[in-house]
A and B are shown apart, each in its own frame.
Chain A
Amino acid sequence: MNAPPNPAPHSKPVIQIHRMNKWYGQFHVLKEIDLEVTAGERIVICGPSGSGKSTLIRCINRLEEHQEGQIVVDGIELTNDLKQIEQVRREVGMVFQHFNLFPHLTVLENCTLAPIWVRKQPKADAEATAMKYLERVKIPDQANKYPGQLSGGQQQRVAIARSLCMNPRIMLFDEPTSALDPEMIKEVLDVMIELAGTGMTMLVVTHEMGFARTVANRVIFMDGGEIIEQNEPEEFFNNPKSDRTKLFLSQILQH
């Protein structure tokens, strides 16, 4: 696994989160989050379950609403304005833990649906693009099958291709390998590593520390709704500063 190149140092930020807070009822899930992401950056977010890491990336495409602070994605601030939310969602792809493919559509239809209905692409163009990305995730021969006929690893690769078909500027991954059988994790990670090589801006919530070491240029550790520590992967893993980070790393790297 070769690490992709680092982004140019003077790139503009594509995501700016400033003093963002979120509550579920009385429960304060995200506290004073500050985060700037530069175009081409690859960020891995880790932390114990319930630490708010999934909630954080779900705020970036407004699957979750924040109550305080500011989130600006690609120059568009996320507010209650539905038009602006849809604009952001067009530019931000998301891959889910449980794939969330549309079971009533074929693999190809899953990939062409949003380009046709949201981007208004002609069907033939959308299909050509979809086949290109299905080849990139190495399952062009499954294009006319239904998701229910594929393995978990194949479904997750289709989900990645489906997001890429919208030609997004940013990709969010919400624990993309956590629901997979062990022998299928590598095929998905390989696709993600290749995607990182193309210069895509990626935010990945994952427990795959090997992936974090090789691919990320920043690792963020969250606990209790706060960002506890962030650093370059080398420093983060070899020389963690916070006690909570040390405890977390010792727990997950034991085996």
Chain B
Amino acid sequence: MTTQNPIAFVRTEHTPDRPPPPSTVGVVGWLRSNLFSTPFNSLLTVVMGLLGAWVIWGALDWLIFGAVWSGGNEACRANPDGACWTFVQIRFDQFVYGFYEKSERWRVDLVLAILFGGVFWSGWENSPGRRYVGMFMLVPFPLLAWGILYGGVFGLAVVETSQWGGFILTLVVALIGIIASLPLGILLALGRRSNMPIIRSVCVVFIEFWRGVPLITVLFMAAYVLPLFFPTGVSFDQLLRALIGVALFSAAYMAEVIRGGLQSLNKGQYEAADALGLNYWKSMRLIILPQALKAVIPGIVNTFIGLFKDTTLVLIIGLLDLLGMVNAAIADPNWSIRSVPTTGYAFVALTFFIFCYGMSRYSRYIEQKLHTGHKR
């Protein structure tokens, strides 16, 4: 016992676990580390808090407390320092339906009801048969919706697309773009990574062409240049041309997003799928795409949101979407009041925000649900 080796050490008792110091956890800990960690940060917190309160109060005052909620244009003229919501209320139908025939507007309502019903049904995790509803929403629904809106089938009168407008037009353009761009983008991305040189070059040329041209140019081409190539007398629906342009344009962007996902996968995943005897399409469908698409959900939703907002550009070829209708209504001399344009644009902004934020939140939810605890 007397000849102790100086580096020898043996722990003889177990060190018990202790809770962390109280000032580093809970609300107090959070405030301390995030808002009041140094005197300068404390000052910054107070100043920014006051600034925030001032801005929020001003916005609420204009939007809600000091706003005109009823009474028509005279009420707004009397109080130009608050939002003029009565303008939106009176023109609301026009903002939603555009110039769609009054007696036929139930058709738009029906499509909207199926759309929102279907989206919620297929989006809710616990609803029965959600897969079938989801598939219905992807393929039969757009065709059915077109049939109901355009007419000429089921004994419905034809409503020309030139009469479509407002929010319903925004939705039609955005949804067709979204629904068409994902499968097209997947095919283009796979084609660009194909071993077959012809398929690969076709996809590269397609993607680079559509990505290299501004959407406004695409819309102009669709509206004014394309008809020059058709024989005289053959006309091709203006909206349909714009829709095809938007769909191809967004497919090119989508393809590059998805290609990013494909490249993020380890080569071993492809090899393991091959080694098990899965053929190309099975390995893509079962192994590669589920992982690649999951990896780029933020990018995909980003493209969807961008597309949804870019639909306002159809304004440039004379299609009056939500923004176009609001613009037209603002120009009405009866409503030439200081607060009216601001209110109209605030309404547009709010509508777009609700939809885009909804998509964003839903993508976060999907990402968390699909997380399987593997590190990348």
Contacts and interface: CB of A to CB of B under 8 A. Distances in A.
Interface of A: 61, 63, 82, 86, 89-90, 92-94, 96, 98-104, 113-114, 117-118, 146-149, 162-163, 166
Contacts of B208: none
8 contacts: A86-B279, A102-B272, A103-B372, A104-B370, A114-B276, A117-B282, A149-B373, A166-B276
Contacts of A90: 277
Contacts of A61: 274-275
Interface in B346-370: 370
Interface in B280-317: 282, 286-287, 290-291, 294
The 8 closest A-B pairs by CB, nearest first: A148-B374, A100-B272, A103-B374, A100-B268, A114-B276, A89-B277, A146-B372, A94-B275
B272 A89 contact: no
B109 interface: no
A101 B275 CA distance: 12
Nearest to A93: B275
Contacts of B102: none
B61 interface: no
A170 to B, nearest CB: 12
Contact of B287 (A63, A102, A166): A102
Contacts of A163: 275-276
B271 A63 contact: yes
Contact of B278 (A99, A101, A114, A162): A114
B286 A113 contact: yes
Given A103-B372, A104-B370, A149-B373, A118 B276 contact: yes
Given A113-B286, A114-B278, A96 B374 contact: no
A147 B278 CA distance: 20
A82 B271 contact: no
A118 B294 CA distance: 24
A118 B278 contact: yes
B286 A117 contact: yes
B294 to A, nearest CB: 7
Nearest to B273: A102
A149 B371 CA distance: 12
A147 B272 CA distance: 14
Contact of A103 (B273, B277, B278, B291): B291
A99 to B, nearest CB: 8
A89 B275 contact: yes
Contacts of A93: 275
B143 to A, nearest CB: 30
A100 B271 CA distance: 8
With most chain A CB atoms within 10 A of its CB, the pick from B275, B279, B282, B294 is B275
A63 B277 contact: no
B368 to A, nearest CB: 14
B272 A96 contact: yes
A147 B372 CA distance: 8
Contact of B269 (A102, A146, A149): A102
A30 to B, nearest CB: 18
B363 to A, nearest CB: 17
B276 A104 contact: no
A42 to B, nearest CB: 20
A104 B290 contact: yes
Nearest to B282: A117
Contacts of B273: 102
Nearest to B268: A100
Contacts of A117: 278, 282, 286
B373 A100 contact: no
A206 B294 CA distance: 35
Given A63-B271, A113-B286, A146-B373, A82 B279 contact: yes
Contacts of B275: 61, 63, 89, 92-94, 96, 163
B266 interface: yes
A149 B273 CA distance: 21
B278 A98 contact: no
B29 to A, nearest CB: 30
B11 interface: no
Contacts of A98: 266, 268
Contacts of A162: 276
A165 B312 CA distance: 54
B18 interface: no
A91 B294 CA distance: 32
Contacts of A118: 276-278, 282
B195 to A, nearest CB: 11
Contacts of B294: 104
B375 interface: yes
A91 B373 CA distance: 32
Given A102-B287, A117-B282, A89 B276 contact: yes
A89 B286 contact: no
Nearest to B370: A104
A181 to B, nearest CB: 16
A104 B272 contact: no
